[in-house]
Amino acid sequence: MSNFIFKQKYSACFARVVIDEHIFRNHEEIPPAPVFLRKCTKTYQVPDTDVYIKEGLSVLIPCYGLHRDPEYFPDPETFDPDRFHEQNKSKMWDYTYMPFGDGPRNCIGMRFAMLQAKIALSLTLKNFKFRLSKRTKLPLKMEKKGIILAAIGGLWIDLDPISP
Ligand code: HEM
Q: What is the arithmetic mean of pLDDT over 34-58?
A: 87
Note the pLDDT tens digit of each residue in 111-164.
999 999 999 999 999 999 999 999 999 888 878 777 777 888 988 999 999 987
What is the model's pLDDT at position 26? 58
Ligand 1 contact via 64 beta carbon (within 6 Å) = no
Residues 6+ apart with CB under 8 A from 31: 147, 148
Residues 6+ apart with CB under 8 A from 95: 11, 12, 13, 15, 16, 19, 66, 102
What is the model's pLDDT at position 122? 94
Task: Read off the pTM.
Answer: 0.80
Q: Is this complex's ipTM strictly greater than 0.95?
A: yes
Ligand 1 atom 20 nearest Cα: 107
CA-to-CA distance for 77 and 74, rounded, in angstroms?
A: 9
If one residue of 25, 67, 100, 147 were mutated to test the ligand 1 pocket, choosing by the most ligand atoms within 8 A of its CB, it would be: 100
